[in-house]
Amino acid sequence: MIKILIVDDEKPIRDLIDMNLTAAGYSCVAVQDGLAAIDAVDSHDFDLILLDIMLPGADGYDVMEYIRPLKIPVIFVSAKHEVRDRVKGLKLGADDYLIKPFDVAELLARVEAVLRRYNKADKKLTVGDVEIDIEARRVKRAGEPVPLTSKEFDLLMLFAENRNVALFRENLYEKVWDDEYYANSRTLDLHVQRLRRKLGWEKNLVAVYKIGYRLEI
């Protein structure tokens, strides 16, 4: 299982990130200051670090300097939004920089992108009794193959990678169909209905009023 270190001195943000990454299938360790982050890195093997900058003990830049030789992927997650802050973080070796406040779906997407870049992303996902072979683009439910169209599989991956997160209709449509969303389009709804039926997710794949859909696991 992919193991992620979360470093943030604000408990609500730390808990928010921890909860959503855990729901997405990652193993998380969360600490609140820079010195604790260094201790955690010395004690555990992490696949990715989400690192705030303004931290007690040692700031995020200091932590980045310490861990850079370890070659652990890092995403800075900070309220410091100036270009010079982003440039400094990236020059220190960070793989990405996300500005607070952030959308949880964007955070999860950036995490997945960095993990893929390092070939650390899971090749298979398990959601309840549904097994997804990402490379082969094959799906099984309770051990039995489930035939999906290409678009159904792409839609499934978005839900599986963003479990318990409400996804906007517009974003789902644009990412799967690579086209502009039209309010009167029924394409997304029909694909969601088929996924519900094929995967037994009638109670799990729920509509979110005025937003879109959420996979509740």
| Average pLDDT of the segment spanning 152-163 | 90
CA-to-CA distance for 26 and 141, rounded, in angstroms?
A: 21
Separation between Cα atoms, residue 9 and residue 32, nearest integer Å: 4
Domain boundary pick from 66, 84, 117: 117
* The predicted structure's pLDDT at residue 121: 66
Q: pLDDT digit string (tens) for 123-144?
A: 777 888 899 988 889 999 999 9
Question: Any idea what DSSP says for residue 8?
Answer: -
Q: Which of 84, 102, 117 is the last residue of a domain?
A: 117
- Domain limit, last residue, from 117, 134, 162: 117
Supply 28's token pair: 């998380």
Q: What is the pLDDT of residues 105-124, one digit of tens each?
A: 889 889 988 998 888 766 77
Contact by Cβ (8 Å): 120, 73: yes
Q: Domain residues for 163?
A: 124-215
Describe the strand order of the beta sheet including 124-127 as a list of residue ranges: 124-127, 130-133, 138-141, 144-145
Does the pLDDT of residue 179 top 80, yes or no?
no
What per-residue confidence (pLDDT) applies to 184? 62
Question: Whole-model pTM?
Answer: 0.64
Q: Is the pLDDT of residue 40 over 80?
A: yes
> Looking at residues 164-174, what average pLDDT do you find?
87
Return the CATH number at 195.
1.10.10.10
Residues 95 and 196 in one domain: no
Pair (141, 160) in one structural domain:
yes
Read off the pLDDT of residues 58-85 as tens digits, 9 standing for 90 and up.
999 999 999 999 999 999 999 998 999 8
**How far is residue 214's CA from residue 194's CA, in Å, rounded to a whole number?**
15
Mean of the per-residue pLDDT values for the chain? Answer: 90
Token pair listed for 127: 């959601």
**CA 29 to centroid of chain Cα atoms:** 15
Does residue 79 share a domain with residue 23? yes
Rounded percentage of the chain residues whose pLDDT exceeds 70 = 97
Q: Are residues 100 and 157 in the same domain?
A: no
Q: What is the pLDDT of residue 122?
A: 64
Residues 14 and 93 in one domain: yes
Residues 15 and 89 in one domain: yes
User: Where residue 94 sits, what CATH number does that domain have?
Assistant: 3.40.50.2300
Q: Number of structural domains, the chain?
A: 2
Q: How many whole angstroms separate alpha carbon 10 and alpha carbon 32?
A: 7
Quick one: which H or E segment has residue 164? Answer: none
- What's the CA gap between 43 and 22, in Å, rounded? 20
Residues 109 and 156 in one domain: no
Do 110 and 143 belong to one domain? no
Residues 98 and 168 in one domain: no
Task: Tell whether the model's pLDDT for residue 180 goes beyond 80.
Answer: no
101 plus 21 within the same structural domain: yes
Whether 33 and 86 map to the same domain: the answer is yes
Query: Residues 7, 111: one domain?
Result: yes
